Amino acid sequence: MLPYPPHPLKVISISINGASTTFDKPLSVAELIEHMQLGNKRIALECNGEIVPRGQFAQHMLADGDRLEVVVAVGGG
């Protein structure tokens, strides 16, 4: 038995570009992008090493422990 009461909210923790972020409820990739104000940016996204196509952002639900990479185009040679 736990020495303390369980946390009242189900918290999920997601790593986004190497930084861990917690959310108090499950959310979709689309909601995450909205939350991070990336909606008007041209991005691509990988979840646990696999591409999440833009067309699946609304359906793809994020799970506790997911590792996301969010990338953009930058200058390079």
The answer to whether 24 touches 47, Cβ cutoff 8 Å, is no
Of 2 and 74, the one with the shorter C-beta distance to other proteins is 74
Tell me the closest approach of the beta carbon of residue 24 to other proteins, in angstroms. 19
Of 10 and 71, the one with the shorter C-beta distance to other proteins is 71
Angle at the Cα of 55 (from 23 to 24), degrees rounded to 5?
A: 10
Rounded to the nearest 10 degrees, how much is the dihedral formed by the CA atoms of 4, 8, 14, 18?
Answer: -50
Of 6-65, binders to other proteins (CB under 8 A) are: 16-19, 36-46, 49, 51, 53-54
User: Interface residues with other proteins (CB under 8 A)?
Assistant: 16-19, 36-46, 49, 51, 53-54, 69-77
